[in-house]
Structure 1
Amino acid sequence: MAYQIHWPNKYFFYPIGNTSAVCLTRDLPLRVPASLLLLGCGDPRNVLYTIFCESSTGNASRELDFTCCDHDVGVLSRNVLLLSMIINKKPQEL
């Protein structure tokens, strides 16, 4: 059986992003846990900005759960590496 394949004509790669960061929990009530699904997440600027906004407003007691999806494996691996480096806070020996 023959299937039609999807072959993208152009590939757009924005390593830093082309829009400003947005606080993803700005419209949620305070102290309500937030489970967020990000489709086509690209770089983690929205995740990092949301965490910054939560800590700067004194609402650090809110539980945040982020699920980031993207079709590009390189984008996801870069995000995992960046977030792992932020969480570890110390350089590792090579």
Structure 2
Amino acid sequence: MNWTNADARRLGATLRSLREQKVLTQEGLAYSAGLTKNSLQLLEAGRGSGRKDSTSPSNPRMATMTSLAGALDMSVSELLRKADL
């Protein structure tokens, strides 16, 4: 699969939606997943870098996906399915 900007944005929107459904702040989910708030913000925005001129999509590692899925009480495959990926 070729990871695109659209895929990154879709994953980010799904993460945001799931986080809000669980009434978690970005800080709360990031802490539960062992991430920084900044890295979660970038993932939710679908961005690979905080640089304003960066156009690279976020492309989280499997360990990050596993941590986020666990913090959201689901499997990675369920998270990807919810994101239609």
| Same topology, TM > 0.5 | no
Greater share of strand: 1
**Greater RCO between the two (CA within 8 Å, min separation 6)?**
2
Greater share of helix: 2
Structure of larger gyration radius = 1
